[in-house]
Structure 1
Amino acid sequence: MMPNDSKQTLIRAKWVVGYQGGEHRLIEDGVVVIEGDRILHVGQDWTGKPDEVMSAGNSLVIPGLISAHAHVAAQVTDRLVLDGGRRDFLRSGFLNCAPRKVSGGPSLGSFEDADASIAFAFAALLSQGVTTIVEAGNTGEVGSIMLRHAEACGARLYYSPAFATGEYLFEDDGRMIVRRDEKMGFDGLERAVAFIEAHDGAFDGRFHGILNPDEFYLSTPELLRRTRAEADRLGVGITMHFCEQLFEFHETLRLTGRTPVQQLVDDGILGDDVLLGHCIYVAGHPMVAYPWDTDLELIAASGATVAHAPVALARRGVSLANFDRYIKAGINMAIGTDSYPYDLIAEMRTASLTAKIIGMDNEAAKARQVFDAATLGAARALKRDDLGRLAPGAKADLAVIDFDDLAIGPVWDPIRSLVMCATGQHVRTVFVDGKTVVSEGRALFADEQQLLRKAQASCETVWSKFPETHWSGKTATEIFAPSLRKWEPHA
């Protein structure tokens, strides 16, 4: 990576997404000029004399994408439950694998090579155009590994170790229960606060803290109130998994007489620094059978952001109901990659298509709206007016996407082509803070093939340990049958 100095680099491309008048605007045959870690100029030409000129040809230059809800790991368990999983979990995927046994023993994730897994995920995110990552779940055990790889790869990271006042467990007969321990949550919050105080602003300002009470459902009201107080004191945001599971809505309503959104509002938790991951099962969603639809109005009034991760939801047979409804309610929308394949461009397409299908409306979730969510919406959630846009003074975080490809085809509107035709594999060059971290589609900070081999080995180790961790004692293959049976040479 080139040093972060005052060197001027001019990037010339067929299309550049500039920021003007408070919105993204398209420049045909445009240029972006980088100086140090900032954007110096965006426009149709530049009369200065740059030190370096990059001719990107038939490419689209966009702001670096922001994954507002990401799990930076190889996501071993998600790969098992595709097309299946226990029906009594009502479309929740992670509950099939994450709980430990009440009778004792390790969790499935404890066998993972955290170093290989996290390095793989950072490389996958950056190489597909994501420059800012909001980590949504890793715990304290891997905090130092997260920091080391974030520094090495050059990513912009928002993170602190997750904490909760409960955990999911399997009884010996397979019933899933929740065991609550409020002190565990308070201790976790203290560790997260200490982590932020020790590291916030590291790596030339690329690392920022954000408090993560992992799940609303696993957090007591007192833990959330303390989290709110610490976030205010530290000047950091809050993120959590919220209403990702159907029973989460109904249990809260049954025990408190309030919806989860109403509880957060009444307890003073919501604000314009809060990122709600998923936020699916709210009042008015057809699956909750609760038609008194005020939840979205309350979220909008608070200024909180919904981080929509449509691919992870769609493969569990779930969607927001729907993206347009949230936009029309006035909610700030962001988009996340959740687990894998870490392709935020594909997430934009899925957000648009699922909204059109759920709403039976071809005008729902327009390309511009989902692109805004992946850039400006996420930046607004992080209170960063220097991210998610290409404008003088903004951080030099950007991605160059190659449109010279049969998969893209003829281009009339490059943003529609990006959302509906492109994938992360079309990203050729990525800058973070003015430094080149991806070139010719390859991460410069690591050997991608080596990362992939190590991640594969880690996953295979975990999968082989499945019988030791699962309540049934069965293998992963027995619980989650592969798509195809193995070839029998003498059949």
Structure 2
Amino acid sequence: MTATALILIRGGLTVDIDSGTAETRDILIEGGTIRAVGAAGTIDAPGADLFDATDRLVIPGLVNGHTHGHMSLHKGVADKWTLEASLTNAPWLAGRRDPDIMYASALLTGAEMLMKGCTACFDLVYEFPRPTVEGFFTVARGYADAGIRAVLSPMISDISLFRAVPGLLEALPEELRRHVDGEIDGRPTLDAVRDIIARRHELPEGITLALSPTIPHHCSEGFLMECAGLAADNGLTVHMHVAESRLQAVAAQKLWGKSPIAYLAERGVLGENFIAAHAVWLDDSDLDLIARHGASIAHIPASNLRLGAGFAFIRPMLERGIDVALATDGANSSDALDMLRVMRLASYVSHIQTGPREDWLGATEVLKLATAGGQKLTGRPNAGRIAPGAPADLAMLDLTAIDFIPLNDPVNQLVTSADGANVTDVLVDGRFALRDRVLISPACRDLGARVKDARLRLAAASGDLKALSTALEPHVVAYAQSLAGEALPVNRYLAGRGDPHA
């Protein structure tokens, strides 16, 4: 991925994410690093590849702090899915994928994010029933071939949804229960993860490894502690879904008599290497624990809205000094992997929560969360700014697009008006991955045909799994809705007709 040539980006309207201002600047890039930033026309670089950025808005590359590339073949498959409906359908969504299907999905995910201004992502990689070395490295190759940076994290558990949710298995009709009542042996899963860790030095440049025991109550205590030990011994980040839905918060109270964050803290899992994804159904004491342990949060507003999970309160997190990144989630729960849309949602959702407008997330703040905030989560805390010494990960947007006409406040319009369609050029590690809206990687030239073939083959291979999931879904959703109605000390819904939680 590393580039060595000089590139001079001349005359782009360049954003400073700290001040929220934009000024016309030249940017000199060498060897994947920004070497100089100066007023337009002031940098002389003989022999440099000159890129005219007139009519371009130049921003740090966006970072998607939580996604699932295995879901990119499933855009638009669901309408009124809750989180629990999505989890019920996971076997056919992610199962029976051969290496070609896995590669196509990862390549598509990387390509879409690049075309929408992303230069890095954190992908929780799922294989059903457990990860494989071949599958994991196939996904890594897909991202590398697209030209995007990625942290890849095997998403694992040893308790199924049906046993993780208290009482769910018993609530299913007998003819369905017998298909899902088996127990999971976590040992082969952990062995596979150890094999992946042992070979992580073989990962392509720009691809790194993390670990994701998926949801606290989907992991036995022994399995969770094994994962935490593997992460600590190998310097890996742990990234989990935490308190995403009301049901998850209720389940934690039933199982442990405490919140999932308190449970994780008591077991030493929280720490500076820990990321809590979603973090919706948390109270002030949970946020205090996260801050005290130096853990981070991935805020995923589009998915939280799409799945009806609730509204995460971000201002209290920031007031405690918690590092927060923005994320899309997977394409089945966010559909468009567009971090520009996510920024807008993050800002707007904060406007309808209680408190004065000073508590709202402004344009400059959400841009920081989508750039520098995400870089810390992906292990690159010095990135996310356009300054000498920073990695040359940049995105450019078309200022002649209707969303920027007239140009009143570039950063405000970036957040409130723009979307991925405005992105024209992307550099990753000082190399163009997208230029004039065209993906550079040869692997992306037949992307449409490759993805179409993969989708059709996956549908043919997983028809019986889909039929079972479809039969299970109404029973799971009905039980989850009933259980989630039990009392909690926090509310992350808006009051609506007949809302028992208002």
TM range (shorter): 0.7 to 0.9
* CA deviations over 1:19-52 (Å, ceiling 9, x no partner): 7xxx456341112110011110123244332412
Given that 1:77 and 1:97 are in contact with CA atoms closer than 8 Å, whether structure 2 keeps it comes out as no
* CA deviations over 1:34-92 (Å, ceiling 9, x no partner): 0011110123244332412211112211111111101113444562222x24xxx6x53
Given that 2:73 and 2:451 are in contact with CA atoms closer than 8 Å, whether structure 1 keeps it comes out as no
Larger deviation, residues 328-337 vs 433-442: 328-337
* CA deviations over 1:310-353 (Å, ceiling 9, x no partner): 11111123333422232233321101121121111111111111
Q: What's 1:454 paired with?
A: 450
Alignment of 1:393-404 (within 5 A): 393-404=389-400
- Work out whether 1:110 is the aligned partner of 2:95: yes
Given that 2:60 and 2:384 are in contact with CA atoms closer than 8 Å, whether structure 1 keeps it comes out as yes
> In structure 2, how many angstroms separate the alpha carbons of the residues matched to 1:159 and 1:351?
24
Q: What's 2:3 paired with?
A: 4
**In the alignment, which of 297, 303, 306 is matched to residue 306 of structure 1?**
297
* CA deviations over 1:222-241 (Å, ceiling 9, x no partner): 22222222222212211112
Given that 1:429 and 1:439 are in contact with CA atoms closer than 8 Å, whether structure 2 keeps it comes out as yes
Paired positions, count: 448
**In the alignment, which of 122, 127, 133 is matched to residue 115 of structure 2?**
127
> In structure 2, how many angstroms separate the alpha carbons of the residues matched to 1:444 and 1:96?
38
> In structure 2, how many angstroms separate the alpha carbons of the residues matched to 1:176 and 1:75?
31
Given that 1:273 and 1:383 are in contact with CA atoms closer than 8 Å, whether structure 2 keeps it comes out as no
Q: What's 1:71 paired with?
A: 68
Counterparts in 2 of 1:108 and 1:379: CA distance versus 1, 3 Å: closer
Q: What's 1:153 paired with?
A: 146
Q: What's 1:294 paired with?
A: 285
Instruction: Please state whether the residue corresponding to 2:155 is helix, strand or coil.
Output: coil
Q: What's 2:495 paired with?
A: none
- Work out whether 1:95 is the aligned partner of 2:87: yes
Given that 2:299 and 2:312 are in contact with CA atoms closer than 8 Å, whether structure 1 keeps it comes out as no
> In structure 1, how many angstroms separate the alpha carbons of the residues matched to 2:261 and 2:24?
46
Given that 2:121 and 2:378 are in contact with CA atoms closer than 8 Å, whether structure 1 keeps it comes out as no
Counterparts in 2 of 1:73 and 1:449: CA distance versus 1, 3 Å: farther
Given that 1:40 and 1:392 are in contact with CA atoms closer than 8 Å, whether structure 2 keeps it comes out as yes
Counterparts in 2 of 1:176 and 1:330: CA distance versus 1, 3 Å: farther
State the shift of 1:162 in Å. 2.2
Q: Which runs of 5+ in 1 are unaligned?
A: 100-106, 284-292, 477-491
Given that 1:332 and 1:377 are in contact with CA atoms closer than 8 Å, whether structure 2 keeps it comes out as yes
- Work out whether 1:81 is the aligned partner of 2:78: yes
Counterparts in 2 of 1:461 and 1:432: CA distance versus 1, 3 Å: same
> In structure 1, how many angstroms separate the alpha carbons of the residues matched to 2:204 and 2:361?
36
Given that 1:399 and 1:431 are in contact with CA atoms closer than 8 Å, whether structure 2 keeps it comes out as yes
CA RMSD of aligned residues (A): 2.9
State the shift of 1:392 in Å. 1.5
Q: What's 2:21 paired with?
A: 26
**In the alignment, which of 15, 20, 35 is matched to residue 17 of structure 1?**
15
Given that 1:14 and 1:57 are in contact with CA atoms closer than 8 Å, whether structure 2 keeps it comes out as yes
Instruction: Please state whether the residue corresponding to 1:377 is helix, strand or coil.
Output: helix
> In structure 1, how many angstroms separate the alpha carbons of the residues matched to 2:231 and 2:471?
43
Amino acid paired to 1:429: D
Counterparts in 2 of 1:39 and 1:277: CA distance versus 1, 3 Å: same
Amino acid paired to 2:448: L
Q: What's 1:245 paired with?
A: 245
Given that 1:4 and 1:36 are in contact with CA atoms closer than 8 Å, whether structure 2 keeps it comes out as yes
- Work out whether 1:351 is the aligned partner of 2:354: no
Amino acid paired to 1:309: I
> In structure 2, how many angstroms separate the alpha carbons of the residues matched to 1:24 and 1:33?
21
Normalized per residue, which structure has more helix?
2
> In structure 2, how many angstroms separate the alpha carbons of the residues matched to 1:355 and 1:425?
25
Counterparts in 2 of 1:55 and 1:376: CA distance versus 1, 3 Å: same
State the shift of 1:134 in Å. 0.7
* CA deviations over 1:356-404 (Å, ceiling 9, x no partner): 1233755511111111111111222334233212222221111111121
> In structure 2, how many angstroms separate the alpha carbons of the residues matched to 1:150 and 1:430?
15
> In structure 2, how many angstroms separate the alpha carbons of the residues matched to 1:235 and 1:36?
27
Instruction: Please state whether the residue corresponding to 2:8 is helix, strand or coil.
Output: strand
Q: What's 1:332 paired with?
A: 323
State the shift of 1:469 in Å. 3.1
> In structure 2, how many angstroms separate the alpha carbons of the residues matched to 1:356 and 1:349?
11
Given that 1:128 and 1:427 are in contact with CA atoms closer than 8 Å, whether structure 2 keeps it comes out as yes
> In structure 1, how many angstroms separate the alpha carbons of the residues matched to 2:391 and 2:25?
18
> In structure 1, how many angstroms separate the alpha carbons of the residues matched to 2:103 and 2:280?
32
> In structure 2, how many angstroms separate the alpha carbons of the residues matched to 1:36 and 1:177?
55
Q: Which runs of 5+ in 2 are unaligned?
A: 163-168, 474-502
Counterparts in 2 of 1:122 and 1:472: CA distance versus 1, 3 Å: closer
> In structure 2, how many angstroms separate the alpha carbons of the residues matched to 1:248 and 1:474?
22
Q: What's 2:275 paired with?
A: 275
Identity %: 25
> In structure 1, how many angstroms separate the alpha carbons of the residues matched to 2:470 and 2:344?
39
Given that 1:322 and 1:355 are in contact with CA atoms closer than 8 Å, whether structure 2 keeps it comes out as yes
Q: What's 2:254 paired with?
A: 254
> In structure 2, how many angstroms separate the alpha carbons of the residues matched to 1:68 and 1:177?
35
Given that 2:22 and 2:410 are in contact with CA atoms closer than 8 Å, whether structure 1 keeps it comes out as no
Q: What's 2:126 paired with?
A: 138
> In structure 2, how many angstroms separate the alpha carbons of the residues matched to 1:359 and 1:13?
42
Counterparts in 2 of 1:110 and 1:47: CA distance versus 1, 3 Å: closer
Counterparts in 2 of 1:399 and 1:125: CA distance versus 1, 3 Å: same
> In structure 1, how many angstroms separate the alpha carbons of the residues matched to 2:257 and 2:402?
55
State the shift of 1:250 in Å. 1.2
State the shift of 1:306 in Å. 0.9
Given that 1:343 and 1:423 are in contact with CA atoms closer than 8 Å, whether structure 2 keeps it comes out as yes
> In structure 1, how many angstroms separate the alpha carbons of the residues matched to 2:471 and 2:219?
31
Counterparts in 2 of 1:14 and 1:151: CA distance versus 1, 3 Å: closer
Counterparts in 2 of 1:47 and 1:14: CA distance versus 1, 3 Å: closer
